[in-house]
Structure 1
Amino acid sequence: MATAIAPPPGIYVPAVLFYDNDDELDLVAIKSHVLRLAKGGITGILVQGSNGEAQHLSHEERKLAIQTTRQTLDQNGFSHTVVLAGTGAQSTRETIKLCRDAKEAGATFALVLTPSTWVPQMTRENIINFHRKVADASPIPTMIYNFPVVTAGQDLDSDIISVLATHPNIVGTKLSCGNIGKLHRLTTTHTQSSFAVFAGRSDVFTQGLLSGSAGAIAALVNLLPKVHAHVYEVFKAGRIEDAMTLQGKLAHGDSAVSKAGGIAGLKGLITKHFGYGNGVVRGPLASAVEEKLRLAEEGKLIELIELEKSL
């Protein structure tokens, strides 16, 4: 197996999906969101990350979401924008199928969660074997998605991820654990071109860049793509103090969105300030509540939204 190339560095967004009043995918709103993100200067879109409610979708809906994203980008002059697909499932067999589906639908990379139904059996050996078997069979390069919140507390350490990084078809990781020490250990062990390490949260975005990350794959980019792209450019220009000042605001923004109700709150804020979609999520999640949105807007978040609109 030839060694695959890692995704390019930059800003990636685990895109939310929108539903209509009949609980079907709202393709008009999804297309509007994809276009706003692309125009905001992002490097790529992750379809079916945790914010994309992957576990709430059928296989057919997953493929449709990827196809819609890729086609919308291509038809509007953003063929260079990368599409990643979340392909995590509870069995090796289904995960491989989702990787194959993602390739057929137009994704370039697959982001793979560690199975979490049988945590006591997810030993170090089983975790490594799972990701290796998926990577062996996947027609597109895979990435390790480390997110303890959605994998029953499993937090892959840098040793496990480093072992997996040597596989020729495993090309990166999204660290939603927010552990900068882990990120730094990985960036100083592997080259960015062979294994890209991305911060998985906006509140450690610039800290990750200082530690050699390839960028970020972060939920807040859904709301603030231009701000994140701006911070990235400021950092690359060597204006570290300015980047860290903006980073302080991003940290407050990340916290505010979580208080707004997570995925639902994020969608509600997008609808309120950018005029498409709604704050509806699939059960058992609860939809957006206006009172929580107002509380989230207090302080730095509204400043960031105003900055987004001014850029």
Structure 2
Amino acid sequence: MSNPYSEFKTQLQGSMVALVTPMLANGDIDYPRLADLIDWHIEQGTDCLVAVGTTGESATLSMQEHSDVIRFFVKHVNGRIPVIAGTGANNTLEAIQLTSEAKEAGADCALLVAPYYNKPTQEGLFQHYKAIAEAVDMPQMLYNVPGRTVVDIAQETVERLANIENIVAIKDATGSVERGKLLIEALGDRIVVLSGDDGTALELMKHGAKGNISVTANIVPKAMSQVFNAALEGDFETATKIHDTIAPLHKLMFVESSPIPVKYALNKMGKIEQGIRLPLVWLNEQYHNQVDAGLRAAGLVE
């Protein structure tokens, strides 16, 4: 029996943007700016948009806001490109609820971060993802980012989960090309491997990754699209040439916890207001000159 999700996997490639959630100075969600950002990214060649991921401040939105933002994304994108909805939680029932609401909203895929803080075992991780996959019949993507969650989805666990037909991909944000390479070799074409680390994404694509879910692409969507689409075509010479012009931005977008630097950059570019939610605060002044210089060098501000 063929896997009904196989066709969708082909859409999970290229440059994917973990979009910020624009906010006003008082912390309210700025939906008009969000609409503008969505349109801009589609015009610039972004292949997929991620709503309410880590960069979208998922951890500071209420559950109602979480689902409201996903609904807004789906409605405004209106089928132009796939929408991946961040619906992960460290509470399995909460993740099921968020994922169910994302499906109801019309999202194309759910992105499920490994459960943070409570440090589940590998069996706990397997049962967590299995429960969500069985509860909500939609494409689902694992998200391994141990630097944030303090839990690491082992390769053996990913291989077990790859047997569940609606688990279609993994976002590997470990930053380890060697680990990613081993994962790709072990999984074959069972699920799609995507990078979640801007600095190593192009290198991982040389080993078979299909694209990158990016922070930096928030500010340089066209260049990132050109990089990863050239890589998909096997033209790593062109991909590397373009990538080298924007590579310094990858480090700058992490001088403090993301999305603090990228929100600062988008504000300097006139794309969003100066809004972020506690416990995150605006970029420390000691980094302003450094980030400003990087934005000027990239031609993003005068």
- Normalised to the residue count of structure 1, the TM-score between the two structures is 0.88
Query: Bigger shift: 218-227 or 279-288?
Result: 279-288
Is residue 159 of structure 2 the alignment partner of residue 159 of structure 1?
no
- The verdict on how the C-alpha distance between 1:44 and 1:89 changes in structure 2, with shifts beyond 3 A counting, is same
Check conservation: 1:205, 1:247, Cα contact below 8 A. no
Q: Residue in 1 aligned with 2:5? A: 4
What fraction of aligned residue pairs are identical, expressed as a percent? 24
1:47-72 CA distance string (max 9 Å, x none)? 11100111111122112111211222
Q: For the Cα contact (< 8 Å) 1:261–1:288, is it kept in 2?
A: no
Change (3 A) 1:243 1:57: same
SS in structure 1 at match of 2:165: coil
Q: Whose helix fraction is larger, Structure 1's or Structure 2's?
A: 1
**Hey, what does 1:90 align to over in structure 2?**
90
Which position in structure 2 is the counterpart of 1:278?
273
Q: Does 1:66 align with 2:57?
A: no
Residue 193 (structure 2) aligned to one of 197, 204, 212: 197
Higher deviation after alignment, 237-246 or 102-111: 237-246
Distance 1:276 1:99, change over 3 A: same
Partner of 1:184 in structure 2? Answer: 181
Secondary structure of 2:107's match? coil
Corresponding residue for 2:252? 256
For structure 1, list consecutive stretches of 5 or more residues without a partner in the other structure.
Answer: none
Q: Which amino acid aligns with 1:294?
A: N
TM-score by length of 2: 0.91
Q: Which residue of 2 aligns with 1:304?
A: 298
CA RMSD of aligned residues (A): 2.2
CA drift of 1:256 comes to 1.2
SS in 1 for 2:253: helix
Q: Is the 8 A contact 1:265 1:289 kept in 2?
A: no
Aligned to 1:174: 171
**Matching residue of 2:243:** 247
1:291–1:205: structure 2 CA closer, same or farther, 3 Å change rule?
A: same
**What does the per-residue CA deviation read over 1:73-94, in whole Å, with 9 as the maximum and x for residues that have no partner?**
22xxxx2301011111121111
Distance across 2 between alignment mates of 1:8 and 1:263? 23
Give the match for residue 231 of structure 2.
Answer: 235
Aligned partners of 2:215 and 2:253 also within 8 Å: no
Give yes or no for contact 1:86–1:111 (8 Å, CA) kept in 2. yes
**SS of the residue aligned with 1:203?**
coil
Q: Cα distance, 1:260 vs. partner?
A: 6.0
Gaps spanning 5+ residues in structure 2: where? Answer: none
